Amino acid sequence: MQKLVIASNNPGKLREISRILAPLGFEAVPQSVYNVPEAEEPYVTFVENCIAKARHAAHLTGLPALADDSGICVDALGGAPGVYSARYAGEPRSDQRNNEKLIAALVGHSNRRAHYYCVIVYLRHADDPQPIIAEGSWHGEIIDTPRGDGGFGYDPYFWLPELGKTGAELEADVKNGMSHRGQALRVLVERLGLGESSGDNCV
């Protein structure tokens, strides 16, 4: 098993990432095991925040690091909450308050289209000049009444018309097979394989 540190303290993300990476030979260790504090996320784009988090974890642990930055982008709100999804309603972070604020912001809007977006960065070490970057998007709509008790974040309000279910009503394996994070992780794994077989000197 190849050990790497996950630059996140979000239990939902950690479960999803570990579940997907474990069969591929990666031992995903949360940064909390190494007492790594959360990194600052001062940027307005997912990829900049993601690189900052991965570099922070790699620097403090000396291990390869994987960071995820993700959120939900709602068309009618100009892409908000976006990078602020986890703290949309302020601190302390609360899925319930975030969802309440989102539904309130959409009152009067007929356009309910939204998509989850995820970018994942893998750094071989803190000064890695060639981070591996992968992304994924998962499209749906926002509904006013929550359905399902699985998932986390905005999942109970994230409606998937083609399935007739919300993200919170999906089995974990089904969700991982189609979600933004699942897509990004599969792209990452493909790129990790290409990098290992290419014989470059940055590994």
Q: Please give the Cα distance from 155 to 123 (Å, whole number).
A: 29
Catalytic site residue 127? no
Collapsing DSSP to helix, strand or coil, 64 comes out as: coil
Residue 74 lies in a domain: yes
- What pTM was estimated for this model as a whole? 0.87
Residue 203 lies in a domain: no
Catalytic residue among 68, 69, 128, 155: 69
Tell me the pLDDT of the chain (203 aa) as tens digits.
889 999 988 887 788 788 878 887 888 999 999 999 999 999 999 999 999 999 999 999 999 999 999 999 999 999 999 999 999 999 999 999 999 999 999 999 999 999 999 999 999 999 999 999 999 999 999 999 999 999 899 999 999 999 999 999 999 889 989 999 989 988 998 888 744 433 343 33
Residue 6 lies in a domain: yes
- 8-state DSSP, 42: -
Residue 131 lies in a domain: yes
> Considering its fold, how many domains does the chain have in total?
1
Residue 97 lies in a domain: yes
Q: Please give the Cα distance from 194 to 196 (Å, whole number).
A: 6
CATH code, domain carrying 178: 3.90.950.10
The helix or strand, by DSSP H or E, that contains position 180, with its residue range, turns out to be helix 180-198
Task: Give me the domain span that covers residue 96.
Answer: 2-198
